[in-house]
Each structure stands twice: as C-alpha cells, then as structure tokens.
C-alpha cells in the first residue's frame, strides 16, 4: 500500500540528497551531469522540483544547503536560456501589479517589492515565478508582461 504523501517525501529526500552532494563537492558546484539534467526542465518539472525545494527552505530557514542548491539550479536555467530573450528562467523579477490579471491583484503593497525568480518561461506569453522563500514558496503563473527584471 502506497501512502498518499510518499511521492512528496521521496522528492524531499532526493532534493536533500542532491543538496548534501553539492555541499561536499569542490566549490559547492553541481556535477556536469546534474547541470545537463536540469538545463531544460519542462514547466511541470520546474514547478515540482522548485516547489518541493522551496517548501523545505520556507519551513526550515536553516536549510542553507537546499537554498544553495536552488540558487545553483537557477543559475543553470539562466545559462541554458541564452541571452537573446527579455525574460529568462532564473531571472530575478518584480511584479508589475497593474499588469496582473484582476484576480491576481491582492492589493497588498508589500508584494510590489518582493523579488521573484522566474522558474519557467512559457511559449504562451506566461512565466512561472516563485517569491523569496522567506515570504512564500508557491509557484505562480503570470503574464510575462507583468514582470520586470530587477535592476542590477
């Protein structure tokens, strides 16, 4: 008999294991095979992996190895996306509240300056974004025109 929560726990264990491997790797880097495996995630894969990892960090601020793993995975996405698009997976962005669909506007001004990371860029004019993990770990799909890159 399979427990309903088993797949989630298994994914958590794999994220924790990969983060532990990164911690002992020279330079705290992903292995080339891991980079290749993470370079072209589908929307569903990105949502699942970053959602699970984000959940672990959100509820355990001492999960620094997992936070580092998330950063490394974002860097892989950003590099794999190339430099010819306005918004790429791995980019840090802010939401432009007035450009969000009406149902997505919550009128909470503090969200205006929250930094989000793009987890996936769809070919349908949308992007999946994840807020700072201290705030939230859920990944939301928003119109690509409703995000602006964070000024460097």
**pLDDT of 106:** 57
Structural domain boundaries enclosing 63 = 6-149
pLDDT of residue 69: 95
Would you say residue 47 lies in a domain? yes
Tell me if 112 is assigned to some domain: yes
Q: What predicted TM-score, i.e. pTM, was given to this entire model?
A: 0.86
What pLDDT sits at residue 96?
84
Do the domain assignments include residue 136? yes
Total domain count, the chain: 1
Q: Is residue 95 part of a domain?
A: yes
1 located within any domain: no
Which parts of the chain fold into alpha helices (H)? 6-24, 32-38, 43-59, 64-81
In the prediction, which pLDDT does 110 show? 57
Contact of 87 with 78, CB cutoff 8 Å: no
pLDDT digits (tens, 9 = 90+) for 35-89: 999 998 999 999 999 999 999 999 997 899 999 999 999 999 989 887 777 899 9
| Interval 87-141: pLDDT, tens | 999 999 998 877 665 555 555 555 567 899 999 999 999 999 999 888 888 899 9
User: Residue 4: pLDDT above 70?
Assistant: no
What was the pLDDT predicted at 107?
55
Angle at 38 between CA 36 and CA 39, to 5 degrees: 65
Extract the tokens encoding 147: 């995000």
Query: Read out DSSP for 15-42?
Result: HHHHHHHHHHSGGG---HHHHHHHTT--
């Amino acid at each position: 008999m399979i427990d309903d929560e088993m797949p989630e726990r298994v994914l958590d264990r794999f994220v924790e294991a990969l983060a532990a491997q990164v911690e002992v790797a020279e330079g705290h880097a992903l292995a080339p095979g891991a980079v290749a495996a993470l370079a072209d995630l589908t929307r569903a894969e990105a949502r699942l992996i970053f959602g699970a990892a984000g959940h672990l960090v959100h509820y355990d601020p001492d999960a620094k190895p997992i936070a580092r793993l998330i950063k490394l995975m974002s860097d892989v996405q950003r590099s794999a996306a190339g430099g010819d698009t306005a918004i790429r997976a791995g980019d840090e962005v802010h939401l432009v509240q007035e450009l969000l669909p009406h149902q997505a506007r919550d009128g909470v001004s503090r969200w205006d300056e929250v930094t989000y990371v793009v987890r996936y860029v769809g070919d349908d004019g949308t992007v999946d974004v994840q807020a700072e993990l201290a705030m939230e770990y859920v990944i939301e799909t928003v119109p690509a025109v409703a995000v602006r890159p964070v000024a460097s």
